[in-house]
Structures are given as structure tokens and as C-alpha cells.
Chains A and B, each alone.
Chain A
């Protein structure tokens, strides 16, 4: 029986051929460009683009670490830029080949992870906060509110050690990237106290569960929150917690192994054109790092406080930073302990 199945399916497969010619291989997060972004680039430059995706920044690193992965352009998150530079994976950018890049937002003109933008151009930025049902009274405004007994069984935290430990550290008034064992121990105690009240540690799926009303509130990434609010309208709200919150930014970079340096620069130049960047920000509900692009957005989006919070709110945000090996190990043990409790 099986043999026949195989034989029957063979002719269909023989037809699978690949287009040759100039090609650019781009490794990015899933669905991180507008639907027409890639086709337009292909048309304008007469090339084919392969848009591969990764699930986590760590997976991206594992896939390009060999230095002969075949990818040209990658999108490292801010705290991966420095490590990738030190591992010799990123090629320096030639800014003279990026002529049409709009003006970057002031926060990204000299970001802490790559002060002179030598290796990576900031693309989109995000944050972590609380997504909640707008009917809640009082509305949660701080991480500490996620410990309220009334939420028992109806809240979730992210399935991510940096986020959960980070929220606990912020609740206690410590820094997001703390490496201090006693601060981390106190954060662990907070997480352990919260765990019995949690429905789960989950990521993007909270969108569905909040829209369906199964959850009251959740620690959520802003991009997840924007998608949820797009569907649910006024039913859901997103808040940047009072104690402070994590910020992250995705950047565009060229791998040192790439043999298509000019084309890769063309691609970055294209993605940073204000009108292209604006379309991506518009369709994907993300916050662009490009000030010229933001200026092109419709007013209700440009002034959306979830996407572009006022200066005071932004000042409470803190960037994730690469941690020392020792701190990472300590945090991993803490995370394992929280999860297996």
C-alpha cells in the first residue's frame, strides 16, 4: 500500500524546481514586513528574496553561528547585536550605500548597543506591559497589581525567564538587568508567591484568551497586545507599568559571510525608506524606529499612545542588556526552580 502512495506522489514532486538568478536570503521574525514589501523589492531590483523566519533570537543565533549558513540579512534584537559583533558574525555597514534612510527617532540615533550604528540599523521597537479587560476596576497600572488575589486563575505571565524575573525585579524597584544574587533571590520569592495564582506561563496565545474573555489580565508583549486590540477594539487595554518595563528593539544587519553586500545594503536602504517603513509599521501595528516614517503615518496611529507613548512613559522603560555568563546561569536556575515548583 505504501509503495503505491509513494509512487503516486512522485510525478508531482519532480516538478519542484527552483528559480535561479540573483537572490537575497533574509532571516527575520515571522510576518515582520508588509505583504507587499518583499514583492515590491523583488520587482524594483530584479531579484528573488527568500524570507526565512526564526522562532526566537537564540534560534537565529544558532542558525547563523557557523558563519556559512547562507543567509545575508538578519534581524538581531538589541541585546544580541553586541554578542554577534564579538562573535565576528556581523559585517560593518557602509552608510554611503544607504542614501535614502530617513531620520531615525532620536532614541535610536545612537543606541546603547551600537552607538555609531556601525553594524545594525534599528528597525522596530517594542516593550512588555500588561494587557487587560477594560471593564476591570480599578484598572491594573503596575506590575504589583498582577499579584492581586482577585485575579486568581485568570491571569498569565509570559513564558520567558527574562520577562518574568524582570517584572518581579521591577515590582521590587530593582533594575531589569540586575545581576545581584540577593535582588534575584527576592525576585524569585515574588515569582513563587505569584505562581499559584497564575493560569499559565504563555506567550502569544494570550491574545485569543483575552479576546474570548477567559483571562482578565496578562503580561504581554506590545505587539501581541496591538493585535489583540485590533480584534477586540475597546474591550482590551494595554498599559506600560508604573514601576518601569522592558524595552527591546529589532535591528537590521548584514552577516559577514554574505557575498551579496551591495544587494544587502540595497535591501536595508529599501526597508529604511520612510514610505516603505511606514507601510510596515501601519500594516503590522508596530512602532517604527524611523522618525520620517512615523511622520507619514495617519494621525490616529502616529498619536496612538500604546505605539508611541509620551516621553514620560518612555523614560520608565529600560533596555534589555546582555548579561554575564554567571548571571545567566543564576537566572536559569531560578527560572527552573520557579517553573518546577
Chain B
């Protein structure tokens, strides 16, 4: 199935729409002025961003949290979607729905209340672990939603055929169903990574002294208005992660061609 010319033209326009603000951000990260008029090329803001150890630490925290949340939420969510596909469980489905419709601030406050209640009995504090758990919580529903959408287009007879041929349930799941789900699982993981990486509301409430994340630092900086250092960091992150994606898709292509 090839893309028609119209669809390709449309896609170019859509990508332009998605990337335009990003290009603007990147361009103005090289502006010598702090303000929004262009006043000449400069690397001042990159130097400032690199000199900032708090930023580096927050970036590390954010990546770690997003990675952990992605791995856990994708695993829990994919298994959950599969389990629900086998046979629906009304209370899990309803809870997932509810978690999707819960305003972020409410989720943050309620988790904070829960943590504080637990902390009365256990000698632990807010930190990376509490943030990761919170992220896994609100991201799992995304995974289930995306993976379930794919599962509904999946032909159950394939799995039955595998079992008729002597595969156990687990083998059928791992060898037949899961590979079919791979693109949906990958999309879900991407969605989780980005949602987690970007979350501010819930994170700021359940983060402790040691778990400041990048959005928290960026909020603090951007609060005072436009700040080119923030653009510089954003540009660096996009270039770094974008580069990784490019490299990995190149690797994948080579693998496929082999």
C-alpha cells in the first residue's frame, strides 16, 4: 500500500505544524538577547545551561524516572490489556477508566495523602520511588488503552491454532500474540515515556527533596517569563533523543535488510 500524493503533501504540512514551535524554540536558543527580538547569534544560553549542575541532575532524574515508569507501566499495562481481552473484568476496566478521567491535581493530592498516611508507619520519605510509582499508576491506563485497541483487531484463532499445535498458553502468548502486539506496545511505551518525562503536576506534589525533575526546574525558570536557557535545554534534549531514535531506526532498517 503506497501513500498517495495528497496524503504525502498533507503529512508534510502536518509535520510542519508539529515541528514549527520546536524550530522557533531552537532558533531562539541561539539568540544573544534574553528577549524575543533577534539580536544575533550566541551560545550564551548553552553555556549557562551546561554550567547549571541542578539542571544536569534534574535531567538525570527525569530520564531515570521516565525509563523506570515506561518499563513498568508498559509491562503491567500490556499484561493487563491481554488479561482483559481474554475476559473482561468490570472492576478493573472501570478503575482504569476512572484513572483516565481523574484530574491530575486530584491524583497528585490523593497519592500525596496516601503516601503521608503510609509514612506514618514506615520510615520512608518522598523520593524517586514515590514519583516512579505515581507515574506507573497514571501511565498504565494509557498502555491498556493503546494495546487494547490493537488487540481488538487481533484474530483470536491464531492463538487457538498455536495451542492446537501443542503450544502452552504462555508460549502462545509470548510467541504468537505478543509479536503481533509489538507495534502497539512500542507506541504505548513511547506515549508513557513522553507523558512521564513531561509530567509536572503530579510529580511536583509527590517529589521529595532528592527527586527534582526537569519539568520542575523548567517551570521554575520559565515562570519568570521567556528564558532562552530553557530553550537551549529543550533543544539539546530533542536533538539527543531524536538522534537516538534516528540511530535506532537505522539499525532496525539494517537488520530488516539483512
Q: Which positions in A face B, CB cutoff 8 Å?
A: 1-2, 4-6, 8-10, 12-13, 16, 18, 25, 30-31, 50-53, 55, 59, 62-63, 66, 68-71, 204-205, 207-208, 211-212, 227, 231
B157 at the interface (CB under 8 A from A): no
Whether A208 and B210, one on each chain, are in contact in the complex, defined by CB atoms closer than 8 angstroms, is no
Q: Nearest Cβ distance between residue A156 and chain B, in whole angstroms?
A: 13
With both beta carbons as reference points, the residue of chain A lying nearest to B187 in the complex is identified as A2
Contact check, A55 vs B220: say whether CB atoms are below 8 A apart: yes
Confirm or deny: B248 has a beta carbon within 8 angstroms of a beta carbon on chain A.
yes
Could you write out 27 A-B pairs with CB less than 8 Å apart?
A2-B190, A4-B248, A5-B241, A6-B70, A8-B247, A9-B67, A9-B244, A10-B67, A13-B63, A13-B64, A16-B60, A16-B61, A51-B54, A52-B209, A55-B223, A66-B112, A68-B116, A68-B119, A69-B209, A70-B125, A70-B209, A205-B226, A207-B224, A208-B35, A208-B36, A211-B35, A231-B34
Query: Which of B36, B70, B186, B221 sits near A1, CB closer than 8 Å?
Result: B186
B38 at the binding interface (Cβ < 8 Å): no
User: CB of B178 within 8 A of chain A?
Assistant: no
Does any Cβ of A come within 8 Å of B16's Cβ? Answer: no
Q: Which of B34, B37, B67 makes the CB contact (< 8 A) with A212?
A: B37
Number of interface residues of B (CB under 8 A): 46
Q: Which residues does chain B contribute within 8 Å of A62, judged by CB atoms?
A: 109, 112, 205
Question: Which residues of B lie under 8 Å from residue A13 when comparing CB positions?
Answer: 60, 63-64, 67
- Once A50-B209, A55-B223 are accepted as A-B contacts, the answer to whether A212 and B35 lie under 8 Å apart by CB is yes
B244 touches A5 (CB 8 A): yes
- B93 proximal to A (CB < 8 A): no
Verify B223–A204 contact, CB threshold 8 A: yes
CB contacts (< 8 Å) of B204 on chain A: these are 55, 59, 63
Q: How far is the CA of A118 from the CA of B126 in the complex (A)?
A: 29
* Docked complex: B61-80 residues within 8 A CB-CB of A: 61, 63-64, 67, 70-71
Looking at B63, B204, B220, B226, the one whose CB has the most chain A CB atoms below 10 A away is: B220
Q: Write the B245-256 contact mask toward A (1 if CB under 8 angstroms, else 0).
A: 101110110000
Contact A1 B63 (CB under 8 A): no
The 0/1 profile, CB within 8 Å of A marked 1, for residues 30-63 of chain B is 0000111100000000000000001001001101
* B residues in contact (CB < 8 Å) with A: 34-37, 54, 57, 60-61, 63-64, 67, 70-71, 109, 112, 116, 119, 125-126, 186, 189-190, 193, 204-205, 208-210, 212, 216-217, 219-221, 223-226, 241, 244-245, 247-249, 251-252
Cα A16 to Cα B63 in complex, Å, equals 11
Please indicate the chain B residues that have their CB under 8 angstroms from the CB of A1 in the complex. Answer: 186, 245, 248-249, 252
Give the distance in Å from the alpha carbon of A51 to the alpha carbon of B225 in the complex.
20
Minimal beta-carbon separation of A167 from chain B (angstroms): 21
Q: Please determine whether A70 and B208 come into contact, CB atoms closer than 8 angstroms.
A: yes
- Beta-carbon contact of A31 and B224 below 8 Å: yes
**A2: B residues at CB distance < 8 A:** 70, 186, 189-190, 193
Name the CB-closest residue of A to B116.
A66
- Distance (Å) between the CB of A15 and the closest chain B CB? 8
CB neighbours of A207 from chain B (8 A): 224-225
